[in-house]
């Protein structure tokens, strides 16, 4: 399928009192039409900053210091603020964790739906109302005519997230970025919203970039997975590969902390330690202070990215050694 988004060697930097710090370190990935790429990692790993870099919404003190972002082949990381704003309404849309902060509390649902339609599609108020009702229908909101006249606080959390999605779809985006959109919702509602996002992806043939810390959510929505740690991509692959054959010790740790509902004796195995701060200097593999398998080499040299086939990539010395010893084992006298 057609590649929608291509991110090459992205470096995103923040100005701080202590000097520049890198929140995203040389990250490359792509998203195709009709597929969901999940970017997964702990809070602070750079996954949200990656998405804000893509959509051009970095905070004042942040900037793309290196690399490029391409949408449908065209470089978008260096567009003017005005062009980025136009792109956000029509090509790339984003939904966030807390729709209450993204929705304007003093404006009706109808007003907030009509506005982008009138701005981006030059619709009249009447046309925008009709299309707004259609969009509410599309995201599974019952009695859409009535909802148009309501204010955000009159809706439940799940309904508000549906409204956010409807607004995000108003400009017919090719790419939807969803940053932890269900984290604030209870489990049942979360499942419904994930179903909705899956259904819309298929029906509208959208690319979806889905940011989450939750491997349970990854299992529900991902076609491909990119795991980030301390600003870097450490593993990437099709969702079955990542779940069935995780290679990086960090990915294995994340999967170990997914509760197994079929196993009543299951215990959580959280990964010991915490993410390093962005300013911390770490030699070699940035995960080595927390890694149970760290070797001397890990403390000295950054592991390069290895291609394992099937679109599966990993950056880890241990995996490389395992691959080598497996290879030797087949030819060897022992
Ligand atoms: Fe652990 Fe070394 Fe692999 Fe890093 S490179 S994850 S320290 S085994
Ligand atoms: Mg975040």
Ligand 1 in contact with 158 (CB < 6 A)? no
Report pLDDT for 334.
35
289 in a domain, yes or no?
A: yes
Ligand 1 in contact with 294 (CB < 6 A)? yes
CATH code assigned at 73: 3.40.50.300
* ipTM for the whole complex: 0.95
Report pLDDT for 9.
98
Angle of helix 157-169 versus helix 109-120 axis, rounded to 10: 10
Ligand 1 in contact with 253 (CB < 6 A)? no
77 in a domain, yes or no?
A: yes
- Range list of β-strands (E), 145-294: 175-179, 207-212, 224-229, 232-238
Report pLDDT for 44.
86
100 in a domain, yes or no?
A: no
114 in a domain, yes or no?
A: no
Ligand 1 in contact with 316 (CB < 6 A)? yes
Dist. CA 97 → ligand 2 center (Å): 9
Residue 249: other Cβ atoms inside 10 A: 22
Report pLDDT for 270.
53
Phi and psi at 250, nearest 5°, equal -70, -45
259 in a domain, yes or no?
A: yes
Judge whether 209 and 37 are in contact, CB under 8 Å.
yes
Dist. CA 305 → ligand 1 center (Å): 12
Report pLDDT for 262.
53
Residues contacting residue 266 through CB under 8 Å, at least 6 positions apart: 259, 260
Domain count, the chain: 1
131 in a domain, yes or no?
A: no
57 in a domain, yes or no?
A: yes
Range of the domain at 263: 3-91+173-331
The pTM assigned to this predicted structure is 0.91
291 in a domain, yes or no?
A: yes
* pLDDT tens, N- to C-terminus, the chain (334 residues): 899 999 999 999 999 888 889 999 999 999 999 999 999 998 889 999 999 999 999 999 999 999 999 999 999 999 999 999 889 878 999 998 876 678 999 999 999 999 989 988 899 999 999 999 999 999 999 999 999 999 999 999 899 999 999 999 998 999 999 999 998 888 899 999 999 999 999 999 999 999 999 999 999 999 999 999 999 999 999 999 999 999 999 999 898 855 444 554 444 445 667 777 777 788 999 999 999 899 999 999 999 999 999 999 999 999 888 877 766 544 433 3
Q: What is the CA radius of gyration of the chain?
A: 21
């Amino acid at each position: 399928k057609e590649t929608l988004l291509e991110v090459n060697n992205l470096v995103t930097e923040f100005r701080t009192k202590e000097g520049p710090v890198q929140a995203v370190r040389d990250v490359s990935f792509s998203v195709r039409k009709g597929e969901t790429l999940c970017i997964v990692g702990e809070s602070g790993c750079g996954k949200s900053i990656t998405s804000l870099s893509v959509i051009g919404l970095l905070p004042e003190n942040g900037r793309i210091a290196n690399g490029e972002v391409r949408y449908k082949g065209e470089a978008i990381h260096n567009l003017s603020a005005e062009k980025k704003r136009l792109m956000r309404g029509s090509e790339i849309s984003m939904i966030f964790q807390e729709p209450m902060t993204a929705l304007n509390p003093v404006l009706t649902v109808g007003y907030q739906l009509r506005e982008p339609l009138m701005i981006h599609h030059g619709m009249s108020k009447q046309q925008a109302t009709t299309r707004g009702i259609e969009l509410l229908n599309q995201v599974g909101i019952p009695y859409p005519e009535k909802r148009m006249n309501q204010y955000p606080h009159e809706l439940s959390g799940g309904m508000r997230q549906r409204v956010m999605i409807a607004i995000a779809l108003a400009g017919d985006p090719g790419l939807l970025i969803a940053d932890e959109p269900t984290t604030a919702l209870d489990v049942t509602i979360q499942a419904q919203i994930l179903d909705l996002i899956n259904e819309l992806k298929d029906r509208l043939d959208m690319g979806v970039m889905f940011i989450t810390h939750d491997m349970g959510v990854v299992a529900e929505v991902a076609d491909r997975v990119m795991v980030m740690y301390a600003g870097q991509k450490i593993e990437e692959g099709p969702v079955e590969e990542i779940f069935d054959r995780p290679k990086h010790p960090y990915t294995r740790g994340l999967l170990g902390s997914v509760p197994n509902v079929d196993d009543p004796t299951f215990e959580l195995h959280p990964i010991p330690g915490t993410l390093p701060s962005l300013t911390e200097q770490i030699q070699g593999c940035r995960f080595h202070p927390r890694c149970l398998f760290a070797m001397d080499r890990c403390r000295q040299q950054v592991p390069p990215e290895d291609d394992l086939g099937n679109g599966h990539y990993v950056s880890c010395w241990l995996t490389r050694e395992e691959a080598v010893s497996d290879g030797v084992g087949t030819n060897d006298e022992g």
